[in-house]
Amino acid sequence: MLMQLPSRRNSFRSAATAAVAALAVLAPAAGALAATGAPHPAASDSRPPGHPEGGGQYVRTVKLADGVSIGKIYKLGDHHHRVEGFANGSSFGSIEAGPAAPYAAGNLNGLITALDNNGNVVSWIQRTSQGSGPHTEKLADGETVAKVTKLGAQHHKAAFSRGGRMLGSVVAHGATTPYGVTRIGKLWIVLDLDGGIASYVGRPIPTGA
């Protein structure tokens, strides 16, 4: 049964989540879980970055997949970045990825924004999920399979495999970790605490970038 992914406005600010994965890299596009939109290249921004609430050195601005919002990326340290979302000049929150939590994601009314600790950002419009709770589904690349298991109330784990080979897993649990996020190659994956999955195939990211 197709269902709309839940929107968690407040968690866009706080959902920096560690990937519990064997691989140190990300990806979703055309599989059983369909997503629209594409990662957007950095947009030029000649305006001064000002003094963002979350701090950091301004790096660049990217357009988000809804065509209206932008994300401003700030460097907080080595392998430590933050992206703050803006619509019509107003901030709607930020997410942060660092050495201890290398991936983060936020969901604002189906607009998924994901960040890694090197400052790479993708966004896409996620309209539906194949389900919530325990289930198995193919992800956006059409090859990777996610098996979701329930560990408790608002506590789910997703394990990923391709061709029978295990690739890693993520966990989402309550308010502290509402999203489990990782990237496998080009495939970005976001697990919701209710067991729903959003995935997206982005552009290749050079090693170390």
Q: Give the pLDDT confidence score for residue 24 in this predicted structure.
A: 25
Q: Look at residue 109 and tell me whether its pLDDT is greater than 50.
A: yes
Query: Could you tell me the residue ranges of all domains in the chain?
Result: 11-201
Q: What is the percent of the chain where pLDDT is above 70?
A: 71
- Return the SS3 of 13: helix
Q: What is the pLDDT of residue 171?
A: 97
For the entire predicted model, the pTM comes to 0.75
Q: State the Cα–Cα distance between residues 99 and 119, nearest whole angstrom.
A: 12
| Residue 69 CA: distances (Å) to CA of 29, 80, 127, 129, 145 | 21, 23, 17, 23, 31
Q: Which residues pair with 91 in a beta bridge?
A: 86
| 9 pLDDT more than 70 | no
More confident call, 149 vs 39: 149
Tokens of 204: 């290749």
Predicted pLDDT of residue 202: 92
Identify the band that residue 207 occupies on the pLDDT scale cut at 50, 70 and 90.
Answer: low
pLDDT exceeds cutoff 90 at 119: yes
pLDDT at 140: 95
pLDDT band at 53 (very low <50, low <70, confident <90, very high): low
| Model confidence band, residue 206 (pLDDT cutoffs 50, 70, 90) | low
- 108's CB contacts (< 8 A; 6+ apart) are 7, 9, 12, 85, 92, 93
Q: Which of 129, 109, 169 is nearest to 33 (CA)?
A: 129
In angstroms and rounded to an integer, the radius of gyration of the C-alpha atoms of the chain is 16
